[in-house]
């Protein structure tokens, strides 16, 4: 019998990241091996300072490893020029951060299509309509960010990440600034994007409920992966966090 190889959207081998030097040096990532499977929703959890954001940023090519190697899709980005990495990011990656990073003077619609407009790529109208419909933004497209609620602004940020159908979406605490209802809606949508559209998502969170929307959780401690959990539930995540001394 042959088994289908797991397709990987991103990888890291021996990923090490040091900040600073000498007495103030901090090893934020300590030789990580990570595989991010395509069409999966991966959550990254761990105590404050354990290296979650650093892992996200180095996987996404926003920051460079000190040692080791990482790849996005089939491209090893380690050692590429800044311009080349920027191109790989543009072609493959969508970002959703805790702060929504919307341009205040642009409408919701203009914010959503901005990455494609910059890249000179046409927006697929059917795909745009589908995203907007599911995110419930249809009657908000002409509004400025300041005229939207926090949850609506975050959904605009998610739509902006999805519109180019990126290979991977990286999200750092995307529901962190939202009330629990808006957060649940957003996470539910991210889960649908994975299940129904085959989107790949990597999300940092410290919230067990948020993490329970994922397919797999990687637990970080002191810059190392100390555990992993498949098909998590909030209760099991909470138990695991208690063991880790939270």
Please state, in angstroms and rounded to a whole number, the distance separating the CA atoms of residues 38 and 44. 16
Mark the segment that binds Mg ion (CB under 5 A) among 52-60, 104-112, 174-182, 215-223.
52-60
Residue 193 near residue 138, CB atoms below 8 Å: no
Q: Is 150 in the site for ligand ATP (CB under 6 A)?
A: no
Least gap, CB of 216 to ligand ATP (angstroms):
18
Classify each residue of 59-98 as buried b or exposed e, where b means 16 or more C-beta atoms within 10 Å of its C-beta: bbbeeebeebebbbbebebbeeeeeebeebbeebbbbbbb
- Candidate residues 54, 152, 153, 205; the one interacting with ligand ATP per rule CB under 6 A: 54
Q: Is 66 in the site for ligand ATP (CB under 6 A)?
A: no
- For 27, half-sphere exposure in the C-beta direction (CA atoms, 13 angstrom radius) is 12
Region 198-227 residues binding ligand ATP, contact defined as CB under 6 A: 206
Residue 34 near residue 55, CB atoms below 8 Å: yes
26 binds, among Mg ion, ligand ATP, none (CB under 5 to 8 A by kind): ligand ATP
For the chain, how big is the Rg over CA atoms in Å? 18
Closest to Mg ion by CB, 87 or 98: 98
Closest to Mg ion by CB, 52 or 155: 52
Q: Is 51 in the site for ligand ATP (CB under 6 A)?
A: yes
Least gap, CB of 174 to Mg ion (angstroms):
12
Please state, in angstroms and rounded to a whole number, the distance separating the CA atoms of residues 113 and 120. 10
- For 182, half-sphere exposure in the C-beta direction (CA atoms, 13 angstrom radius) is 16
Number of residues this chain uses to bind ligand ATP (CB under 6 A): 13
Going by the DSSP 8-state scheme, the letter that residue 5 receives in this structure is P
| Residue of minimal Cβ distance to Mg ion | 53
Least gap, CB of 61 to Mg ion (angstroms):
17
Residue ranges binding Mg ion (CB under 5 A): 52-53
Residue numbers at the binding site for ligand ATP (CB under 6 A) = 19-20, 26, 28, 46, 48-54, 206
């Amino acid at each position: 019998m042959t088994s289908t190889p797991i397709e990987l959207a991103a990888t890291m081998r021996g990923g090490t990241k040091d900040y600073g030097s000498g007495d103030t040096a901090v090893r934020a990532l300590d030789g990580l091996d990570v595989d991010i499977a395509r069409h999966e929703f991966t959550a990254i959890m761990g105590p404050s300072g354990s290296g979650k954001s650093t892992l996200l940023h180095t996987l996404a090519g926003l920051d460079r490893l000190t040692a080791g190697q990482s790849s996005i899709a089939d491209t090893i980005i380690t050692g590429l020029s800044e311009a080349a990495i920027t191109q790989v990011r543009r072609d493959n990656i969508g970002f959703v951060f805790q702060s929504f990073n919307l341009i205040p003077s642009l409408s919701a619609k203009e914010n959503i299509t901005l990455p494609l407009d910059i890249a000179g790529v046409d927006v697929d109208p059917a795909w745009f309509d589908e995203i907007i419909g599911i995110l419930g933004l249809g009657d908000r497209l002409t509004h400025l960010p300041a005229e939207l609620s926090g949850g609506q602004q975050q959904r605009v940020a998610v739509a902006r990440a999805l519109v180019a159908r990126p290979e991977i979406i990286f999200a750092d605490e995307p529901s962190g600034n939202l009330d629990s209802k808006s957060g649940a809606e957003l996470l539910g949508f991210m889960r649908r994007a994975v299940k129904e559209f085959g989107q790949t998502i990597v999300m940092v969170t410290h919230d067990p409920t948020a993490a329970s929307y994922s397919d797999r959780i990687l637990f970080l401690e002191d810059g190392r992966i100390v555990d992993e959990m498949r098909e998590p539930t909030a209760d099991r995540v909470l138990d695991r966090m208690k063991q880790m001394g939270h």
